[in-house]
């Protein structure tokens, strides 16, 4: 693959890609401690300003989320990919979506190639039971379902919540389920009615899964990519109209309740002390009206490189390992979740591909004061739109609203002094482009060994080297 830079060529953007970087003879292997259960809750398009502990701009109480945030570490500078599909790929593979060919919606061959290794696949040899209930959005055909990527069972939608609107205008979408070794199959129509009740079903199935694995004394990985509050944001009938804060407010009350159901189940089963719980979201605030979300103190929405699209809530609890009442503004990216959970479970990450995730376990455990990450790239399709490095943000192209076209304008901001990204200080800081550009050089070098997987690549995929 040719080397890449930030310049404009022939009226279009060139891609800019960034990269951050046995037993002694005669000894018996030490017994491994029991691996922790993992519950990863992953709501959809939920802005940082919706949660009480992050400011609660809408005024909807979120007591269960707030309590969870106090029981471990809460991050205020946790960052995601720019929309649903690459975000899911990133958290499950530890690789930016542009690496795995998931930085876009490709109907025919959309989703992960089977060559990718997900966290579910990594955990299988360690004896984990693995289930996904909710929104997949990484493939909608045989060979690309969750059961083709390491999950033993799944229930939910293969694409996205907006498909529920299609049922009233055209092709009928469905809720699906499947088990490993068997073809996935349709369960029922996914329409505006079942859209309201899907998250309730997801939570109930998650509780049932934890019950079964606890009785079997088997560690488990439960991935709950919830569908709220993605448009159409239609809350469960039990919560509709309850908050006075519209559909989004009602859906937030539902979300908080559902988190409590999971946490209460862990306590009832007596496994909360050996269970890692993470609650974070796949992207920033929804921008579509009438379901527009709130980005808290930041500006912008998901599908942009603005802070409101990148910074999402993140809280992680692991009693006895992660001290309570921790709050940090250090940079962490969702690719780090993959690497950190692999370390916590005692499994190795792949060595035959570029892994962008950085192990943050010691940081989360309070054994070191700072994150292991200094910055990261912000991709939009096959372009990079910005770079974050410490408190600095360099935009290579400017798009502050999802409905507006990107402009070939470079801007620099200091996010501490200018959190709304309003005053360009590029000319006052001529060093910035060079310093951040070193990360571009490092990533370009990685492409010589690990080329990007093109969007729409079919199976079987084999790396060219």
State the catalytic residues.
84, 137
| Of 308, 263, 299, 312, nearest in space to 44 by CA | 312
Residue 11 tokens read as 């009226």
Going by C-beta distance under 8 Å and a sequence separation of 6 or more, which residues neighbour residue 269? 210, 211, 214
Three-class SS state of 221 = strand
Give exposure, 315-332, as e/b (b: 16+ Cβ within 10 Å): bbbbeebbeeebebebbb
First CA to last CA distance, the chain: 12
* Distance (Å, whole) CA 97 – CA 90: 6
Written in H, E and C, the secondary structure of 136-160 is CCCCCCCCCCHHHCCCCEEEEECCC
* Distance (Å, whole) CA 56 – CA 42: 19
Task: Decide: 378 and 362 in contact? Cβ < 8 Å.
Answer: no
Report H helices in 94-233.
Answer: 97-100, 119-123, 163-166, 194-215
| Of 73, 63, 124, 137, nearest in space to 278 by CA | 73
Sign of the dihedral through C-alpha 450, 451, 453, 458: negative
């Amino acid at each position: 693959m040719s080397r890449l830079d930030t310049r404009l060529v022939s009226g279009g953007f060139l891609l800019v890609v960034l990269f951050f970087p046995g037993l002694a003879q005669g000894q018996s292997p030490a017994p491994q401690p029991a691996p922790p259960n993992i519950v990863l809750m992953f709501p959809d398009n939920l802005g940082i300003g919706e949660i009480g502990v992050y400011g609660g701009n809408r005024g909807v109480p979120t007591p269960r989320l707030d309590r969870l945030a106090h029981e471990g570490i809460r991050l205020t500078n946790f960052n995601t990919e720019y929309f649903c599909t690459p975000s899911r790929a990133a958290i499950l593979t530890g690789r930016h979506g542009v690496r795995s060919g998931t930085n876009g919606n490709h109907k025919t061959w959309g989703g992960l190639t089977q060559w990718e290794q997900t966290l579910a696949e990594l955990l299988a040899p360690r004896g984990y039971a693995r289930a996904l209930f909710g929104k997949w959005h990484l493939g909608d055909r045989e060979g690309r379902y969750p059961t083709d990527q390491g999950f033993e069972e799944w229930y939910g939608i293969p694409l996205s919540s907006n498909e529920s609107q299609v049922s009233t205008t055209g092709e009928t979408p469905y809720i699906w389920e499947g088990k490993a070794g068997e073809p996935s199959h349709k369960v029922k129509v996914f329409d505006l009615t079942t859209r309201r009740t899907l998250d309730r079903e997801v939570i109930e199935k998650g509780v049932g899964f934890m019950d079964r694995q606890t009785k079997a004394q088997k560690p488990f990985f439960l991935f709950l990519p919830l569908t709220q509050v993605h448009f159409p944001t239609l809350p469960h009938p039990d919560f509709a109209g309850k908050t006075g804060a519209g559909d989004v407010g009602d859906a937030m009350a539902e979300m908080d309740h559902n988190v409590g159901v999971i946490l209460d189940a862990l306590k009832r089963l007596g496994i909360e002390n050996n269970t890692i719980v993470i609650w974070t979201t796949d992207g920033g605030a929804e921008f579509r009206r009438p379901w527009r979300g709130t980005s808290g103190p930041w500006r912008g929405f998901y599908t942009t490189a603005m802070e409101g699209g990148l910074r999402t809530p993140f809280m992680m609890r692991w009693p006895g390992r992660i001290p309570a009442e921790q709050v940090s503004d250090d940079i962490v990216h969702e690719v780090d979740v993959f690497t950190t959970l692999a370390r916590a479970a005692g499994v190795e990450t792949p060595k035959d591909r570029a892994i962008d995730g950085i192990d943050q376990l010691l940081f989360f455990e309070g054994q070191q004061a700072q994150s292991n990450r200094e910055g990261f790239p912000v991709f939009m399709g096959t372009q990079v739109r910005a770079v974050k490095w410490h408190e600095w943000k360099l935009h290579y192209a400017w798009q502050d609203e999802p409905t507006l076209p990107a402009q070939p304008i470079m801007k620099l901001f200091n996010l501490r002094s200018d959190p709304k990204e309003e005053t360009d200080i590029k000319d006052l800081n001529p060093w910035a482009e060079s310093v951040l550009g070193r990360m571009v050089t490092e990533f370009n070098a990685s492409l010589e060994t690990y080329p990007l997987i093109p969007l729409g690549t079919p199976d079987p995929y084999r790396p060219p080297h």
